[in-house]
Amino acid sequence: MKKSVVLILALAMILVVSGMVLAEKVEITVATGAVGIEYDLSVEAAQRYMELHPDVVVNVLDTPDLAQDRLGLYLQFFEAKSSEVDVYQIDVIWPGDLAEHFVDLYEYGAERVISQHFPAIVENNTVDGRLVAIPWFTDAGLLYYRSDLLDKYGLEVPQTWDDLTRTAKMIQAGERAAGNPDFWGYVWQGNSYEGLTCNALEWVVSNGGGTIISPDKKVTINNSNAVEIIEMTANWVGSISPDGVIGFGEEDARGMWEAGNSAFMRNWPYAYSLGNSEDSAIAGKFDVAPLPAGNSGRGAATLGGWQLAVSKYSEHPEVAADVALYLASYEEQKIRAIKGSMNPTIQALYSDAEVLQASPFFGSLYDVFINAAARPSTVTSPRYNEVSTKFFTAVHSVLTGQNDAQTALEELELDLEDLTGFEIGRP
Amino acid sequence: MFKKRKTVGMTELGKREQRLAYWLLLPTFLILFTIAFYPLVQVFYTSLTDKTFASNQETNFVGLQNYHHLLGMTIKELPPVIDEDTGEQLLNPDTQKKVYERAIRILPREPVRFRELFQFGFLGRRYVVGAVDREFIRAMGDTISFTIFSVLLETLLGLGIALVVNSHFKGRGVMRATMLVPWAVITVVSARIWEFMLSPTRVGFFNVVLQKLGLGDGQIAFLRLPEWSMPSLVAVDVWKTTPFMALLILAGLQLIPKSLYEAAEVDGASSIRQFFTITLPLLRPSLAVALVFRTLDALRVFDVFQVLLAQSRYSLASYNYYQLIGNRAMGLASAIGVVIFVLIFAFAMLYMKLLGVDTE
């Protein structure tokens, strides 16, 4: 009898104590990407945070690779106002659309660190004066070129699109004559998806054609500069770019590039370290440069990248915000830059010796990253996805030859006017 | 007749049994109500609003506006462009074709804008068909043509395969098992496999084979060129679903008594005659069931379209998905759901009438 009372008491004690311990431990879930080594990097970072804060448990939730699928998953959490996920990794085009579900990080001490980050990304993540996400890593479109082939034919790295077309044509003719019938001049992303919006925005901006919809809410896409450059790129299909480029995504282009079958490629920075890996036929034979310029006289790179945002439905927003700010801090971004060659969003890291040793082009292309052109996602929120879909569908119809650029952009202008209610203006 | 006898001369015991039966059926009705009827009504109600998915924005009741947006169409005549010097219709200097006013200038813009769907000539005049939601009308057309072609091919091929594996030959069991492999593969997985084979460069199987045969230059973008994408999709679906069709038809074939064929044999009927007078009529009920299954399945096709065509061309279901997740227009997406429901319902009724499926 006495024994059992003691036993029950002991059990009760254990329950109470463990309950207290559990109650003290705050659980935070971070939804992150799992492309390549992304997930492992996040788990390691979470481990480091937990060592510094023993009263917090940080779980890492891996999410689908495709941005559109990931958005679908997030939307389901938001629709249910779920507190399951506290910190979300969001695409650079989402802050506007999803702002209502995130807390203002300025209320959680982001002022201290925000000046370290690229101003363009901070502006992109600021909706109605609220900082809805802290920049984590960034991306920008780059021109990859085969330095060995340029040397072989005695050519320069192209500065303009006309240069690129000419150079690509020459190398393509030469390599085909040398016995590689699968060789093409230039590969890029021409499939009907967000990647085409990124590519086409670069063409149009570099040719002085504006950013589809200007920051002051004008539909600017229907102009002669935009028509001219889109007509030119449509002519690439089947001449310097394979006919199949209208079905290419990033990985299709990279596959062809790494097999040594193209002279130039437009892609994101991630292809740099992969192109130098062991199973790449062109390891050490290529370099990167800013994308060529059009009428505007300077090239343009579309801004990509990912941010961390804290859910409004989180049970512990203070702790969640602290986790987000920690993950986006100088030390953590440095580790990601070295191990995963992901572009930091903190300016000082671009002059950090260890980072530069791992990815030398971070230093030489600093200007590209800091001047990257943002897609009009914040100004058109919450309709950006529809705006982008209409844009890449219109461009794709020109690439496949169903439409001429003038007609496609004229229709697009009316569609965007209907959709956003903005006026038509000049870029 | 059976029903009548039950109600007229019902004993106390019969009534008790009937009451018990209702009680036993009640859970089923409750479950049906909660998982089928309630969501259906909910979707219908949402389709009358402008609800945004995953947003705190205020939802308004908009009546039938979503349906008007989806189904609104118009036909306008395109006036000829007259050459001011000659008073005759202008000809295109390159193609020597008559020039008409551009559709974008003729189609109405207020209160809603109509987009050009297609043009056609009739009795020497030129007309343009416009739709408010061009993508939806195209998705509807694509879904229906996909359904017709894929189900037709699957039925013919399935019938052929079923007849073969129904006959006696060595290794029939192995044949029947291997026949089912495509059906056993998850659609998304098989769609990905086909995506590799249809790849737009010489990495792709079909480009290599066609080029070896002297067709094309090894650079055909099967999934992005409008003239290729629908045949490619039908091919994927036929490859995948023919085994299912064959299986259902095989089951029907095995129900036909062997004695009928023996009698026909004795009467000296040829095997072609046997097929048309015995096999086909007796197969009709099984064939009808198989057709209904496949048609309804094909009308709500999602996975192959989503994986292979994504946002370059939609089926009704993948357009629905795009409007909900991509565009977050939950009201509009619900309206699309209702339209799909009505369409499938109409097809089901049509089949029952046409094929005389026994409802008793």
How far apart CA A165 and CA A264 sit, in angstroms, is 10
Select the residue from B102, B105, B114, B312 to test the A interface by mutation, using most A Cβ atoms within 10 A.
B312
Contact with chain A for residue B84, Cβ under 8 A = no
Nearest CB partner across the interface for A244, out of B56, B219, B312: B219
Please check whether residues A165 and A270 belong to one and the same domain.
yes
Decide if pLDDT at B89 tops 90. no
The 3-state DSSP class for residue A62 equals strand
Contact with chain A for residue B223, Cβ under 8 A = yes
How far apart CA B290 and CA B285 sit, in angstroms, is 9
Which residue, of A332, A353, A370, is where some domain finishes?
A370
Contact A400 B225 (CB under 8 A): yes
| Residue among A159, A144, A142 nearest A294 (CA) | A159
* More confident of the two residues A130 and B312: A130
Mean pLDDT of A351-368: 90
Beginning with the edge strand found earlier in the chain, give each strand of the sheet holding A423-424 in spatial order: A213-214, A218-219, A423-424
**Amino acid A2: pLDDT:** 63
**Amino acid B202: pLDDT:** 83
Nearest CA in chain A to B200: A244
The 3-state DSSP class for residue B33 equals helix
Decide if pLDDT at A417 tops 50. yes
Decide if pLDDT at A21 tops 60. no
Q: Give residue A393's region: left, alpha or beta (phi > 0; psi -120 to 50).
A: alpha
How far apart CA A250 and CA A193 sit, in angstroms, is 11
Beta-strand ranges (E) seen in B163-206 are none
Mean pLDDT of A357-368: 88
Which residue, of A370, A393, A416, is where some domain finishes?
A370
Contact with chain A for residue B217, Cβ under 8 A = yes
How many domains are there within chain A?
2
Confidence of residue A16 (pLDDT cuts 50, 70, 90): low
Confidence of residue A68 (pLDDT cuts 50, 70, 90): confident
Using CA atoms, how far residue A123 sits from A135, A161, A198, A333, A422, in Å, is 10, 30, 19, 20, 21
Tokens of B138: 């195209």
* More confident of the two residues A67 and A137: A137
A16 in any annotated domain: no
Using CA atoms, how far residue B199 sits from B195, B210, B351, in Å, is 6, 13, 38
**Amino acid B1: pLDDT:** 42
How far apart CA A141 and CA A202 sit, in angstroms, is 8
Contact B327 A402 (CB under 8 A): no
- How big is the CA angle at A379 (ends A375 and A383), to the nearest 5 degrees? 85
How far apart CA B141 and CA B316 sit, in angstroms, is 9
- How big is the CA angle at B283 (ends B277 and B285), to the nearest 5 degrees? 130
| Residue among B329, B357, B359 nearest B57 (CA) | B329
Nearest CA in chain B to A412: B115
How far apart CA B140 and CA B142 sit, in angstroms, is 5
**Amino acid A22: pLDDT:** 53
A7 in any annotated domain: no
Mean pLDDT of A12-18: 59
Mean pLDDT of A63-89: 91
Contact A382 B52 (CB under 8 A): yes
**Amino acid B184: pLDDT:** 92
**Amino acid A12: pLDDT:** 64
Please check whether residues A361 and A380 belong to one and the same domain.
no
Select the residue from A100, A180, A197, A243 to test the B interface by mutation, using most B Cβ atoms within 10 A.
A243
Sign of the dihedral through C-alpha B210, B213, B219, B221:
negative
Lowest mean pLDDT among A368-372, B128-132, B151-155: A368-372
Contact A414 B113 (CB under 8 A): yes
CA A408: distance to chain centroid? 27
**Amino acid A7: pLDDT:** 63
How far apart CA A82 and CA B207 sit, in angstroms, is 47
Please check whether residues A119 and A29 belong to one and the same domain.
yes
Nearest CB partner across the interface for A382, out of B199, B225, B328: B328
Sign of the dihedral through C-alpha B16, B18, B24, B29:
negative
Please check whether residues A261 and A187 belong to one and the same domain.
yes
Tokens of B165: 């594996």
Please check whether residues A58 and A96 belong to one and the same domain.
yes
Q: Tell me A160's DSSP state.
A: B
Alpha carbon of B132: minimum distance to chain A alpha carbons (Å): 11
Contact B56 A100 (CB under 8 A): yes
Using a pLDDT cut of 90, give the percent of chain A over it: 73
Decide if pLDDT at A184 tops 60. yes
Contact with chain A for residue B326, Cβ under 8 A = yes
A13 in any annotated domain: no
A17 in any annotated domain: no
Contact with chain A for residue B251, Cβ under 8 A = no
Please check whether residues A328 and A384 belong to one and the same domain.
no
A228 in any annotated domain: yes
Average pLDDT, chain B: 90
Please check whether residues A344 and A256 belong to one and the same domain.
no
Contact A246 B224 (CB under 8 A): yes
Q: Are strands A130-131 and A126-127 parallel, antiparallel or unpaired?
A: antiparallel
A353 in any annotated domain: yes
> Which of A114-123, A250-259, B148-157, B320-329 tops mean pLDDT?
B148-157
Q: Which domains are seen in chain B, by residue range?
A: 2-46 (no CATH), 73-131 (no CATH), 135-355 (1.10.3720.10)
Contact with chain A for residue B312, Cβ under 8 A = yes
Confidence of residue B357 (pLDDT cuts 50, 70, 90): low
Whether complex ipTM tops 0.90: no
3-state SS string for B239-256: HHHHHHHHHHHHHHHHHC
Q: Are strands A262-267 and A184-187 parallel, antiparallel or unpaired?
A: parallel
Tokens of A322: 């602290």
Decide if pLDDT at B8 tops 60. no
The 3-state DSSP class for residue B107 equals coil
Lowest mean pLDDT among A336-340, B34-38, B205-209: A336-340
Tokens of A92: 């650079």
A12 in any annotated domain: no
Residue A343 identity (one-letter amino acid): N
CA B161: distance to chain centroid? 23
Please check whether residues A322 and A248 belong to one and the same domain.
no
Here the contacts of A252-256 (C-beta below 8 Å, separation 24 or greater) are: A252/A187, A252/A189, A252/A191, A252/B199, A252/B200, A252/B201, A253/A187, A253/A188, A253/A189, A255/B203, A256/A184, A256/A187, A256/B201
Q: Count CB neighbours of B354 within 10 A.
A: 10
Contact with chain A for residue B74, Cβ under 8 A = no
A-chain CB neighbours of B327 within 8 Å are: 383, 385-386, 389
Domain that holds residue A49: 23-132+304-370
Please check whether residues A294 and A382 belong to one and the same domain.
yes
Which residue, of A349, A370, A391, is where some domain finishes?
A370
Per the CB < 8 A criterion, the answer to whether A396 and B312 are in contact is yes
Mean pLDDT of B45-66: 92
The pLDDT tens digits for A209-223 are 999 999 899 999 999
Confidence of residue B360 (pLDDT cuts 50, 70, 90): very low
Q: Tell me A105's DSSP state.
A: G
Maximum pairwise Cα distance, chain A = 97
A352 in any annotated domain: yes
Confidence of residue A152 (pLDDT cuts 50, 70, 90): very high
How far apart CA B319 and CA A90 sit, in angstroms, is 24
The pLDDT tens digits for A231-250 are 999 999 999 999 989 989 88
Contact B310 A71 (CB under 8 A): no
Nearest CB partner across the interface for A411, out of B53, B104, B202: B104
- How big is the CA angle at A175 (ends A172 and A179), to the nearest 5 degrees? 135
Confidence of residue B189 (pLDDT cuts 50, 70, 90): very high
Lowest mean pLDDT among A19-33, A258-272, A336-350, B178-192: A19-33
Please check whether residues A168 and A267 belong to one and the same domain.
yes
Please check whether residues A271 and A164 belong to one and the same domain.
yes
CATH classification at residue A323: 3.40.190.10
Mean pLDDT of B230-257: 94
**Amino acid A15: pLDDT:** 58
Select the residue from A68, A187, A399 to test the B interface by mutation, using most B Cβ atoms within 10 A.
A68
Per the CB < 8 A criterion, the answer to whether B299 and B316 are in contact is yes
Please check whether residues A151 and A297 belong to one and the same domain.
yes
DSSP states along A66-101: SHHHHHHHHHHHHHTT--S--EEEEETT-HHHHGGG
For the CA atoms of A61, A62, A66, A71, the dihedral, rounded to the nearest 10 degrees, stands at -10
Per the CB < 8 A criterion, the answer to whether A58 and A50 are in contact is yes
Sequence length of chain A is: 427
Is residue A249 exposed (0-12), middle (13-18) or buried (19+ Cβ within 10 Å)?
A: middle
Tokens of B215: 């067709």
Please list the residues that pair with A208 across neighbouring strands: none
